Structure 1
Amino acid sequence: MTDNLNIRFAEGDDAALAECFTAHGALVRSYLRRFVPQQEVEDLQQIVFAEVWRSRHRFDPARSLPAWMLGIAHKRAVDQLRMRTLRTVPLDVVADPAGDDGRIDGDGMAERDQVRWALTKLPGPQRQAIELAYYGDLTQREIAERLSVPLGTVKARTARGLRRLSDILTPAAA
């Protein structure tokens, strides 16, 4: 039956596309979830199937149709991720909050400068997670979606980074 579907699909049978979607739609959707946020999966799945249909003349019916489709899905997921731009807030443009009397607190500025310096000592992924959380005002789930990494990875990076910051800043406070 699969060979028959492969041949019919390669020949351009419209009904074969519908069968292909029924048979392999869940696989493609599941695969895409590994790369893009949940809210983008369905749209990207439609893009994948449109390209699968447009590219059917390149499909070899002797090969695996699901594997060929996942190759296209992978390319579209990478394209989707490349179109994104990470919006981080550079530390040097973060406004210093005024004190209770409306003036900038000198001690607070010194502490902020120490924290900024300490952040530069962190590995990039840890620094990025902390900056997005504290300066970008994102939740850990939002950070995970933005960076396309698992939530547990964001939690681990943040925890390790904060521990390191504490170690770096503790000698300076003593």
Structure 2
Amino acid sequence: MRSMAAVPPDDASSGGTADLAQLVRRSSRGDEAAFGELYDATSARVHGLVLRVVRDPAQAEEVTQEAFLEAWRTSARFDPDRGSALAWLMTIAHRRGVDRVRSAESASRRDTTWHDRSQVVPHDETAEAATGALEARRVRAALQSLTDIQREAVELAYFGGYTHTEVAAMLDLPLGTAKTRIRDGLIRLRDTLGPSRKEVAP
């Protein structure tokens, strides 16, 4: 895999969405040169997204490499009817970044388990923790109710911390389309999680 130091600042020279999709298709047939072109065209954006998620340069580079390795292994599964090649790559990278963060948090929790268990926890704090865990499970389940295109937009905006304009650029969409996907996804989340199902004004 190539070094991140050698990548160009963006994928402006790649030609466009159709060209990236073609590179993915060629990569799925074992074309290493095509995959190298795909990497050069998209690695800066992918690395930028991962860095925003993991917030550590060294880990971001590792996760970026892992994301591209996964993309190489799973390139045959890319379906252009479900989204652009860039969106597909960003989704893989975002998932890898979130997994790295969760793994680090899990390791940290294991390191402090003995200390936590030795403390006397008041009943109200226990109830609060249980409620928080329940809410987190409900949110994760609700996210699965979204369509793939809604979920990737919502995750980038609200878990990746990107603006609507940045999400539009990452998913290679018009700004209005990106806003619509985020809005529709949030409405569906609200309807799934909320106690009522009120109509939302357009």
- TM-score for both structures, normalised by structure 1: 0.48
Structure with bigger gyration radius? 1
- TM-score for both structures, normalised by structure 2: 0.42
